[in-house]
Structure 1
Amino acid sequence: MNLLKILDNLSNDELLNAKSSRRGSINQFKNVGKNIALASIPFGLAATSNKAKAATSSMAAAAFQASSTDVLNFALTLEYLERNFYRMGLDTDGLIPDADKDIFAQISKHEDAHVDFLVTALGDAAIDEPTFDFTGKGLMLDTFQNYQTFLALSQGFEDTGVRAYKGQAGALANDNDLLTYALQIHSIEARHASQVRRMRDEKGWITGTQNTLPGAFSAIYGGEDNTVQGGVDLAGLFGDFGGVDGVTEAFDEPLTMETVNAIATNFIVTE
């Protein structure tokens, strides 16, 4: 079954407009996605090095530090950001080349579906949509005047989203419904990230902390140079298969909510 098609179905007006409890809303969406294989997150292989300690501990401790509502609203903030970013990009004449418009139109449609789903799941507990500033406020980025800047931010937002969902998965561990749908969104964000990275002539995966984004966003890739998985240092075991770089590429590290909020704050207008 095509996961992208299923996510498109999540924008179904009948489902999204139905009046029901949070649990009822989740059960409605369960019928849409019941044939999707649940993506797995390797909790047992979480990073254990000092460099990645904060991110790793956030996965184990998330269940004790944040409620499901907190985590869903955290995810909703990121999805609001991405939805607005792609809508504004698509609405800016001359920014996105014709050859790439269909790709970003599809990504934008996915982000619409993610927002609609999370708002429905949260009901009255859903946070209001923030006001965004995609110049990065004091960074003065030429986001909607320069396609390369737009691409770079797209990559940064998608890579952040993947690691953010992973970092908070522990908080949903006792709610099978919510965990299932969070992981489904997580996998689509990963596909977005890989696609955009290739559009920038980069590999579809992260190598260590290497990135070509402005220095202010180095936190997006913090801890990705970790080589210790499940208590085993893999750095010297795969010399013929990419060495240390290959090890860092083979595992993705979670981001803490605090780190993600710090990244997102660059684009959220506060009064």
Structure 2
Amino acid sequence: MNFSNIIEEIEKVDPEVYEKLNGRRSAMKNFLNFSGKVTAAALPVAIGSMFNKAYAGSPTSTITDVLNFALTLEYIEWEFYKQVVASGIIPSAAAIGALTTIRDHEAEHVALLTSVITSLGATPVYFTAASFDYTAKGLFPTVFTDYGVLLAVAQTFEDTGVRAYKGQAGNLISSNEILRAALQIHSVEARHAAHVREMRRRYGALVPPGVLLQPWITLNQSGIATPAVDASYAGEELTNQAGVNVVGINGFAITAEDASEAFDEPLTKEQVVSIVTPFFA
């Protein structure tokens, strides 16, 4: 989850959030400037200040609940990648560098959300490594001792996150500025998912025989040799978009695989909660 997701969730319970942020257009222009000019370390302070002005220290419980839910999800990923980098089983400097970058991004998200919630006069949730069970109650017992399993779990987290984001994207259609900002962030998240998939493809472990693991999802296939991750990929086999079956459209040789790869399908918040619940201690 990222800043765009947070805005979308708050808009559900407070449709005037953008006006409170000094006007919808100007606020999002400011955010675009942040994304291009403000360092990651400064973002929590800048965004926290913006929300503080919007709500003047009097947040509703629903808004702080939304933000704390987002923070919970970010803690899940941050604590995971902290343990990933410290596992001692990553086989190359390039892989360590890539996973460290993802870890640091998750740390920035946690810092941002914590700053925003605190600036609203509320209490942010707090988790430690002991809060989570990354074996998922024994589904992945070797997650931090087997590099193949580690990458498979990382891929599932990333793919699930991209689909969770799309589950909220429809709320942005009414504003070109907001949608543009959201898609910029979404593209970065998707590249994280693609990079982890490329790492798995090169390593080869847990990739079923005969499967060419792509940077994107094909049908409802995870490219992981276990059904334990199936919930994160269910529904991706859809080939109908906007009421049109893309397979063979207008006589082009477009297969079901091609059609499914062209679009990520959304996950609802309830589906995401069901997926991540086993990872809590």
TM-score by length of 2: 0.68
- The whole-number CA distance in structure 2 between the counterparts of 1:140 and 1:241 is 39
Aligned to 1:195: 195
Counterpart check, 1:12 vs 2:42: yes
Deviations 1:22-55, CA, capped at 9 Å, x for gaps? 24489xxxxxxxxxxxxxxxxxxxxxxxxxxxxx
Secondary structure of the corresponding residue to residue 97 of structure 2: helix
Aligned to 1:97: 92
| Equivalences for residues 174-193 of structure 1 within 5 A | 183-193=183-193
- The whole-number CA distance in structure 2 between the counterparts of 1:266 and 1:91 is 22
Secondary structure of the corresponding residue to residue 145 of structure 1: coil
Aligned to 2:155: 155
- The whole-number CA distance in structure 2 between the counterparts of 1:191 and 1:143 is 23
Residue type of the partner of 1:147? Y
Aligned to 1:53: none
Secondary structure of the corresponding residue to residue 138 of structure 2: helix
Q: Which of residues 201, 220, 223 in structure 2 aligns to 1:212?
A: 223
| Equivalences for residues 100-179 of structure 1 within 5 A | 100-123=95-118, 124=122, 126-129=124-127, 131-170=131-170
Deviations 1:31-86, CA, capped at 9 Å, x for gaps? xxxxxxxxxxxxxxxxxxxxxxxxxxxxxxxxxxxx65554433322221111111
Aligned to 2:3: none
Deviations 1:169-188, CA, capped at 9 Å, x for gaps? 45677899987776554332
Residue type of the partner of 2:40? L
Q: Give 1:165 shift.
A: 1.5
Q: Is the contact between residue 224 and residue 248 of structure 1 (CA under 8 Å) also seen in structure 2?
A: yes
Deviations 1:218-253, CA, capped at 9 Å, x for gaps? 010111011111111112317755411111010111
Aligned to 2:274: 262
| Equivalences for residues 40-79 of structure 1 within 5 A | 69-79=64-74
Distance 1:267 1:227, change over 3 A: same
Counterpart check, 1:237 vs 2:249: yes
- The whole-number CA distance in structure 1 between the counterparts of 2:53 and 2:184 is 19
Aligned to 2:16: none
Q: Which of residues 78, 83, 87 in structure 2 aligns to 1:83?
A: 78
Q: Is the contact between residue 137 and residue 266 of structure 1 (CA under 8 Å) also seen in structure 2?
A: yes
Distance 1:74 1:187, change over 3 A: farther
Q: Give 1:99 shift.
A: 3.2
Aligned to 2:19: none
Q: Give 1:121 shift.
A: 2.6
Q: Is the contact between residue 238 and residue 247 of structure 1 (CA under 8 Å) also seen in structure 2?
A: no
Residue type of the partner of 1:197? R
State the superposition RMSD in angstroms.
Answer: 3.3
**How many residues get paired?**
225
- The whole-number CA distance in structure 2 between the counterparts of 1:7 and 1:219 is 38
Q: Give 1:200 shift.
A: 1.1
Bigger mean CA offset, 67-76 vs 212-221? 67-76
Q: Which runs of 5+ in 2 are unaligned?
A: 1-32, 56-61, 202-212
Q: Give 1:19 shift.
A: 7.2
Q: Give 1:98 shift.
A: 2.6
Secondary structure of the corresponding residue to residue 137 of structure 1: coil
Q: Is the contact between residue 236 and residue 243 of structure 1 (CA under 8 Å) also seen in structure 2?
A: yes
Secondary structure of the corresponding residue to residue 76 of structure 1: helix
Counterpart check, 1:227 vs 2:239: yes
Residue type of the partner of 1:129? F
Secondary structure of the corresponding residue to residue 129 of structure 1: coil
Aligned-residue sequence identity (percent) comes to 42
TM-score by length of 1: 0.71
Aligned to 2:51: 22
Residue type of the partner of 2:39? N
